[in-house]
């Protein structure tokens, strides 16, 4: 019996010829990630266990992105603890205000993750790096502690679901619509502790930004990880970023999958996930007039340059509705700079948007866009659970940058055609 991509990567990192679903293994790690919320817990456990060094100072990173720039005294203390730990252990890749970005956009951009690698992060959206053909998954802070100290982690080998991607997306449909469609189809536990593997002839029509968006939300279907077959798009992205050798793993022709789904990109329509679960996906033939108070364009899901270009295309020469707060958050400093050089920030500001430094901020109800009781936000973020962006009686609707920008203009949840014509 053959193995899937994920199973091959895990077998190689466990030093085994093969692995099977359900098998418990100890695997070597290529990279360990933490942020300003999860790292302090890992640091406390690291010190409590009596560890005096990390396994490799070049393979551990901490990114100050959730509450940075610091929103309050507690956030400042958390970042200070991370800063001091990374200084003490000479951590090469420590990213603070001015150099940081939203972690899951920053690491691929910096070339810190590559195809075939095994990566853990104390953040659930660490599954993002599967876009590059890596095995990456979120873990708890205690697992991060062990990973930092020993460079190893325990895994239960997942079974897999295959998504055969065909066709090409229509204008104003996006990868966000694809993943919302998939989650709507299989549910928030439809891939529970399984690998979501994406391949097929349509893959060539998805950019790396598209793939990063989709892999990012694999966890919203309950998946252990999401992973894309490595192709020329992957290699072109990695070239010049990851300056080291890496290995490409391909699923065996006889690999076993629990289910196989055909996803025709040409049939994907602009999609919105209604409160309070990402699986509540609806297309615009099911959506009535829903007034919004806020539009958030950014996050580790949709804060890359392609996302900002999409939003700017809708907002150019238009104004945000008087009763809407539109917040644009470039995912990294490099994205911020490129958006500035391309004139996108001018478009946003002239439209009446607020443009923020990179931060996770409003996505997790931290700051920079908290909702009051009864308020609604459309957002390019990844979760819309009760109270996710503020008050437990507020609502979050998940959508693409095109839809978030169009909704900001009309003041209600709208598809691009309602603005562009």
Angle formed at CA 79 by CA 77 and CA 81, multiple of 5 degrees? 70
Q: Residue 115 in contact with residue 47, Cβ under 8 Å?
A: no
Same fold, 5-264 and 273-420: yes
pLDDT at residue 243, rounded to an integer: 84
pLDDT at residue 79, rounded to an integer: 97
140-164 residue pLDDT tens: 999 999 999 999 999 999 999 999 9
Q: Is the pLDDT of residue 345 over 80?
A: yes
d(CA 420, CA 187): 32
pLDDT at residue 1, rounded to an integer: 76
Segments making up each domain of the chain, as ranges: 5-264, 273-420
pLDDT at residue 278, rounded to an integer: 93
pLDDT at residue 397, rounded to an integer: 98
Q: If pLDDT is split at 50, 70 and 90, which confidence band does 99 have?
A: very high
Q: Is the pLDDT of residue 242 over 90?
A: no
Q: If pLDDT is split at 50, 70 and 90, which confidence band does 18 have?
A: very high
Q: 273-420 maps to which CATH number?
A: 3.30.499.10
CATH assignment of 5-264, among 3.40.50.720, 3.40.1260.10, 3.30.499.10, 1.10.10.10: 3.30.499.10
b/e per residue 170-183 (b: at least 16 CB within 10 A): eebbbbbbbbbbbb
Q: If pLDDT is split at 50, 70 and 90, which confidence band does 240 have?
A: confident
347-373 residue pLDDT tens: 999 999 999 999 999 998 999 999 999
pLDDT above 90: percentage of residues in the chain: 96
Sheet strands (E) in 29-167? 31-35, 60-63, 93-95, 118-121, 135-138, 152-156, 160-166
Mean pLDDT of the chain: 96
Residue tagged 């205690």 (tokens): 142
pLDDT at residue 141, rounded to an integer: 93
CB-based burial label for 421 (10 Å; 0-12, 13-18, 19+): exposed
Q: Is the pLDDT of residue 421 over 80?
A: no
């Amino acid at each position: 019996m053959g193995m899937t991509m994920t199973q091959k990567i895990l077998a190689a990192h466990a030093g085994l010829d093969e692995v099977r679903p359900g098998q418990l293994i100890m695997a070597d790690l290529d990279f360990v990630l933490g942020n300003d919320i999860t790292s302090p817990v890992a640091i406390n456990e690291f010190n409590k266990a009596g560890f005096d060094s990390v396994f490799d100072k070049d393979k551990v990173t901490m990114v100050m992105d959730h509450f940075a720039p610091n929103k309050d005294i507690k956030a400042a203390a958390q970042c200070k603890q991370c800063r001091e730990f990374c200084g003490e252990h000479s951590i090469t890749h420590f990213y603070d205000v001015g150099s940081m970005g939203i972690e899951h956009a920053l690491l691929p951009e910096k070339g810190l993750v590559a195809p075939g690698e095994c990566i853990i992060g104390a953040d659930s959206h660490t599954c993002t790096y599967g876009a590059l053909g890596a095995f990456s998954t979120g873990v708890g802070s205690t697992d991060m502690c062990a990973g930092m100290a020993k460079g190893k982690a325990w895994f239960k080998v997942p079974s897999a679901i295959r998504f055969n991607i065909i066709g090409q997306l229509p204008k104003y449909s996006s990868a966000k619509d694809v993943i919302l469609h998939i989650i709507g189809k299989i549910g928030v536990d439809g891939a529970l502790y399984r690998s979501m593997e994406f391949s097929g002839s349509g893959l060539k029509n998805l950019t790396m930004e598209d793939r990063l968006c989709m892999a990012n939300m694999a966890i919203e279907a309950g998946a252990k990880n999401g992973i894309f077959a490595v192709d020329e798009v992957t290699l072109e992205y990695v070239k010049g970023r990851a300056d080291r050798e890496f290995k490409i793993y391909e699923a065996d022709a006889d690999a076993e999958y629990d289910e196989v789904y055909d996803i025709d990109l040409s049939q994907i329509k602009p999609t919105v996930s209604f409160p309070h679960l990402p699986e509540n996906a609806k297309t615009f033939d099911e959506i009535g007039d829903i007034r919004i108070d806020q539009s958030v364009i950014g996050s580790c899901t949709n804060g890359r340059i392609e996302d900002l270009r999409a939003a700017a295309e809708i907002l150019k020469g238009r104004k945000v509705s008087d009763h809407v707060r539109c917040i644009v958050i470039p995912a990294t400093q490099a994205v911020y700079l490129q958006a500035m050089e391309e004139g996108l920030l001018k478009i946003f500001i002239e439209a009446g948007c607020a443009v923020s430094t990179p931060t996770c901020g409003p996505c997790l109800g931290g700051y920079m866009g908290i909702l009051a009781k009864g308020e609604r936000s459309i957002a390019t973020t990844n979760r819309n659970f009760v109270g996710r962006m503020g008050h437990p009686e507020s609502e979050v609707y998940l959508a693409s940058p095109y839809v978030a920008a169009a909704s900001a203009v009309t003041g209600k949840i709208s598809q691009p055609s309602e603005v562009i014509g």
